Structure 1
Amino acid sequence: MRINGPIDAARWRQLRVGFALLLPAGTIMVLMLALPFLALVLLSFWRQSGFDIDPTLTAENYIRIFAPSDQPTVWNGIPFYLAYPVPLILLFKSLMMALTATLAVILLAYPMAYFIAFRIRRGKAVWILLLTIPFWTSYLLRVFSWKVVLGYNGAINSGLVALGIIDKPLDFLLYTSGAVTVTLAHSWVAFAVMPIYVSLEKIDRNLLDAASDLGDSRWQRFRRITWPLSLPGTIAATLMVFIPTVGDYVTPTLVGGPSGTMIGNLIQDMFLKRNNAPMGAAVAIVMMAVIGLLALLVLWASGFRRLRARLK
């Protein structure tokens, strides 16, 4: 590369330093993320033949995902016919459950972040530390704790029976879609507080004071200043919660039961129980593609909204 003048030389030096700083992380991302993803894509175009994998390229797995079969589908030992394939049904169900859990997380995390950013004057780090204390334990232990709370003889049922509100324990609290949603929301709420808190903390308080001087009420200040300026952090928290919860399989396995099954359980079942890794890879690729498209749609919509606000 030919360098003309001292300015070009300085820029080239900065580029080399930047590439040197990015090289370790870039190498890890290629080795740990890109290559396994490409291997998963290749595996999805193969076919399971007995106990062996046929490496002949075929789109049969994707056809089976999107095209319903005339043969009965067996799930949990029960054969049944469906108008739509099981992967698409579970994917839609998982998206709805993850969306509900994400909405619950944002509704819980935003007031907490707002309180720390605007109401706490000293010791904000202590409050943030207190929020993370429940998450010092293992993820599995937190999920198991919800089994204790929602179980047939758990804390909720025992308390309601002791108070005389119900005669016998409720059997619909655990092993349902609702139990999975509640557990997912609890597991991710602390992770959503941080990006929202950072965006709220960066808001210039002089803007709020100026709005008050101009006669805006507290709700008007929030709607016109606080909420728009905190939207990037809220969107980041939404994506950070929604993306991993769609493919979660640990929580549905422990507290979901048959009615709380999600798409991650189907992928696990294909890889570990049904000995059909190519089909499991194809389902995983479809799930990642749908999640990626939804994430891009959210980012595009938020960027378009900000651009339209600037043009007004």
Structure 2
Amino acid sequence: MDAVITRTDSSRTEAGFRFALLLPGAVVTLFLVLFALGLVVFLAFRINDGSLLGAGFTLANLLSVATDPLNCTVTLRSLTIAALVTVATVATAYPVAYYLAFHAGQRRGLILFLVTLPFWTSYLLRVFAWKVVLAYNGVLNSALVGSGILSEPTLAFLNTPAAVVVTLAHAYAAFAILPIYVALETIPRSQMEAAADLGAKPWTVFRRVILPCSMPGVLAAALVVFVPTVGDYVTPALVGGPSSTMIGSLIQAQFGKANDWPFGAALAVAVMLVILCVVLIARGADRRFGSRT
């Protein structure tokens, strides 16, 4: 009987300890995340009358988001730029993560330190650094003119969609490297050894064993990069031009100069729905790869 009571008290203590650990995160999630998202959704259905929360309910904001050619064009551009950033980031991050997992050896700690080193500085400073590199009189133009490749500086580097893609890819590189590295690190070495013992060449081992097993990390890295870059507005404003305007810039303008919070909230809801669809697609792909491996 005493043993049963002791076991019950122990389970209650453990449950209370888990609750205490979850409580701060639950409070933050509930009040600072879900409440804010709920308020954005609420605003999306309000009529803009100049007040903080609007007056009355309407579907005009969402209909305008779906039918206005400008909004559709900017949304499509945002998705395209985010997709290019994701592909570029993952494609460059995978070799680094592969080297870290299988060939770095004792240099692994140093390389991980170098990968995370840019995050010791502000995101704005990193964007400004790229602006200095890509500017008309910047580092890249000076190097090309000095080496004789160009006769004079060019405006083709800054204020272009390519500048936005390069800057965002560099900004989120570590977010792609680390998930892929973790996925590669957890692959049992016995599987690769068994494939090699059965006569598989290194490329075959990579294609049939390493790549499929690392796909959950690749998909996680793609989501970590794609989701924030869709709504980014700082980078397009600093290194992009009018042809690089993204949906985040429109949302910021509605909440700022235009003072039309309901329409800005409707734009934000539309972006969230698009991102939700992408996440569901990625989740389905992750399950497929998980069932294969």
TM-score normalized by structure 1? 0.87
SS at match of 1:122: helix
**Alignment-derived partner of residue 235 in structure 2:** 251
How many Å separate the matches in 2 of 1:112 and 1:137? 21
Looking at structure 1, the residues matched to 174 and 159 of structure 2 have their Cα atoms a distance apart, in angstroms, of 24
Change (3 A) 1:170 1:16: same
Pairing 1:204–2:188 present? yes
Aligned equivalents of 1:46, 1:39: Cα separation in 2: 11
Aligned equivalents of 1:203, 1:18: Cα separation in 2: 30
Whether 1:303 and 2:287 are equivalent positions in the alignment is: yes
Q: Distance in 1 between matches of 2:11 and 2:215?
A: 34
- Structure 2 unmatched ranges of 5 or more: none
Call closer, same or farther: CA 1:48–1:120 in 2, change over 3 Å.
same
Secondary structure of the 1:56 match is strand
Q: 2:22 corresponds to which letter in structure 1? A: L
> 1:80-121 CA distances to partner (integer Å, 9 max, x unpaired)?
xxxx2x222111110110010011111111100110110022
What whole-Å deviation, never above 9, does each CA across 1:35-55 have from its counterpart, x for those lacking one?
Answer: 111111111111213567632
Count of residue pairs the alignment pairs up:
289
Aligned-partner SS, 2:105: coil
Q: How far apart, CA to CA, are the structure 1 residues paired with 2:257 and 2:289?
A: 46
**Which structure 2 residues correspond to residues 1-312 of structure 1 after superposition, within 5 A?**
9=8, 14-50=14-50, 54-68=54-68, 84=69, 86-307=70-291, 309=292
3-state SS in 1 of match to 2:48: strand
> What is the CA–CA distance in structure 2 between the aligned matches of 1:240 and 1:172, rounded to whole Å?
29
Which stretch shifts more, 155-164 or 273-282?
155-164
Q: CA deviation at 1:15?
A: 4.5
In the alignment, the residues of structure 2 paired with residue 131 and residue 14 of structure 1 have an alpha-carbon distance, to the nearest angstrom, of 38
Distance 1:262 1:52 in 2: 25
Give distance in 2, aligned partners of 1:128 and 1:52.
Answer: 46
| Structure 1 stretch displaced more, 42-51 or 208-217 | 42-51
Q: Distance in 1 between matches of 2:52 and 2:275?
A: 31
CA distance in 1, matches of 2:66, 2:121: 40
TM superposition shift of 1:228: 1.2
**Percent of paired sites with the same residue:** 43
Write the distance in 2 (CA, Å) between the matches of 1:251 and 1:174: 11
Residue 83 of structure 2 aligns to a residue whose secondary structure is helix
Instruction: Extract unaligned runs of 5+ from structure 1.
Output: 69-83
Contact kept in structure 2, 1:176 and 1:260, CA below 8 Å:
yes
Larger relative contact order (C-alpha < 8 A, sep ≥ 6)? Answer: 2
Q: Please tell me the residue identity of whatever aligns with 1:235.
A: L
Residue 21 (structure 1) shift = 2.3
- State the TM-score, normalizing by the size of structure 2: 0.93
More displaced, 137-146 or 158-167?
A: 158-167
- Cα displacement (A) at 1:12: 6.3
